[in-house]
Structure 1
Amino acid sequence: MSKISTMKNLFRGSLRSKQTVVGVVSLILFVSVVSFIVFQVTKDSVVVNANGKEEEFSTHAKTVGDLLEQEGIVITQYDKVSPSLNTEIVNGLTIDWEQAREVTISVDGSQSKVWTTESKVKNILEEANIEVTEHDVLSQALDAEVGETNQIDIQKAFQLTLVDGLEERQVWSTSTTVANFLKQQGIQLNEFDRVENDLEKEITPEDKITVVRVEKVTDVVEESIDFAVETKSDSSLLKGKEKVVAKGEKGKVSRTYEVIKENGKVIEKVLKSEDVIQKPTTKVVAVGTKVVTAAVSRSNSASSSSSSKEFYVTATAYTAGCAGCSGVTATGLTLKDGMKVIAVDPSVIPLGTKVWVEGYGNAIAADKGSAIKGNKIDVFVSSTNQANSWGRKKVRIKILN
């Protein structure tokens, strides 16, 4: 065979070999493309809603747990996944994932930590079994989102007594000092008001906070001024008798007081000034100085009963303090314990007469009385008991001068 024929045969063989290789490569490429397309087409489309943000995935994962693990999503025991991790993947499935976060709850300074997927304050507290009342103070409203701080501060309220002036009531408070408590309760203190408690003292349940309401007011009043009494001796009047010569009249004065009240009650009243509006008029009284010295009369109508200087009379007793008595006799004597004085009818026994009375002794007729008429006398004794013991009796009487 010629060289040319041999070269032609070699070229044709070589060409067939190249065509075979290309065909094999093309077939492999075609199978790969078809396999890839089949792989992609057979994937399930799944939507993952993570904390409100949606993302779509195509997957061959068999369960929800497999999918999340393939995507590098770590699920903790506090997270919420719906449907459950064991749920089989189907095309069009939506997976909701709520990631838990750690929240610090402080109650009166005592802290605790909880993991939760809730966002509202009230839901977190319910989940943590922490009860709050309308009087407690929270750092955030119950309906508010807990926020990025992941902390809830609670001040628990307690009851104590507030006395504001005359009003006493039970109130709730979360304040730590008396001053803060009064501010919380809206208590306004006026210039002179005072608080019985130390404003910096920490309050505790069952405390009593007392506010005293103090007022300083000016009070102007008209008041009367008593008149003076002036006495003048009058020799024309019987000793012990008095006669009003000039009638006294009270005056008027305007007085200005500073009045201090505590809870409406006056505790101090200070006179600041006074102005006399009308001066008082002095009362003038004439006092008798005339002393009567009488001898026994023999010519009067009763002479028949007393001419012998000894006769019987009906005798009663009286004291200086008896009803209608002044303590001063008709002749001007001031009655004192131990004195021997009798009241008589001057027409029978003249005033000033010295006498002897049976059962009484020597005495002087120095007084008279409206009920002492005729042969009657009233003996002076020191006490009511003595007067009652004397009673009413008939006694013998002697005229001594």
Structure 2
Amino acid sequence: MRALVMGTPGRIAVQAALLTAVIGGSVIYASAHKDVTLTVDGRVTHVRSMSGTVGDFLRDQDIRVGARDIVAPAQNTPLGDGGTVVVRYARPLTLTVDGKKQTFWTTDLNVDSALNSLGVRALGAQMSASRSQPIGRGGLTMWVSTPKKVKLVVGGKKQWLTTTAPNVSALLTQKAVVVNPLDKLSAVPSAPLVEGQTVSLTRIERKRVTRAETVAFPVVKKKNNKLYTDQTKILKKGKAGKRTATYIVVTANGKVDKKTLVTAKVLKKPVTQVMQVGTKSRPFSGGSVGGDVDSLNWKALAKCESGGNPKAVNPAGYYGLYQFSLSTWRSVGGSGNPVDAGSDEQTYRAKLLYKKAGSGQWGCGAHLYD
């Protein structure tokens, strides 16, 4: 049996059909592809894709995004030819503003944009990073110190100033203040500065000082009942001694804060002074105050108040026959302590008190009328 051989016209028809199918398939393939501009964190690439939606496109490009990231347009948006897909990854920004630390998530790509988005007023501020510094996917940690008015006291000298120094240490460096080993600072160097704060630096110095000194002479007192209480008699005159003394002197802002004796060498010993002091009360010349006061029963009052003892002392602070307080005694002209005065003077002062304030001054005042 002979094989069927297709003639020339038949072959042409078949080839034409096959070519039409191939051309048709090529047209369909070409129309499914789209030219897409992809921008990821500012980096632009051009991609040819057959994805139907933005989400499909990202998955095809192996780009994974999270809830904090930005995708524009939205992932369910159909992908068109000539379209643009923008992806911004969120990154942590740990920001300390005037000592207050917070961590934010931002899709901004540099410091300036991030601060503007967060509403951080950094005009005139000092920052640990420049405004143009990029913020990478790993994030950034930085501080911002805004201008603030503070008072700086160094060695007692005060000045108000406006500074953007972030902490006490930076302020001292900014003002070229050197802290010596013994100096005392009112705040730890790392403490952040706040508006209106006072930073004090007390200058401490420690010196060894040797000086010549006078040594006071001791005094020995001996009682003499032939002398009145306001009299004394020198039996042997005292003489001051001399010594050299070495001290450790600590000053704060130039004023002595502490002085400690280290050594002392006596060059001349002092001579003790011996003196007599009187124990005898002077006779009292007064007594009568006139009127009916003198006729009151002062003995009865004294017996009730002190048992009639002119030397009586009450631990609560009352003294003598009529139990005067020291302030009341002085208010009627008395000096010293009532117990050192005679009975006549105590009675006289009591009469003056009666004329001044009545019998209510004493708990036993009613006995004046016995």
TM-score class, shorter:
0.3 to 0.5
TM-score (structure 2 length as normaliser): 0.41
Q: Which structure carries more strand by proportion?
A: 1
Larger fraction in helix: 2
TM-score, normalised on structure 1?
Answer: 0.39
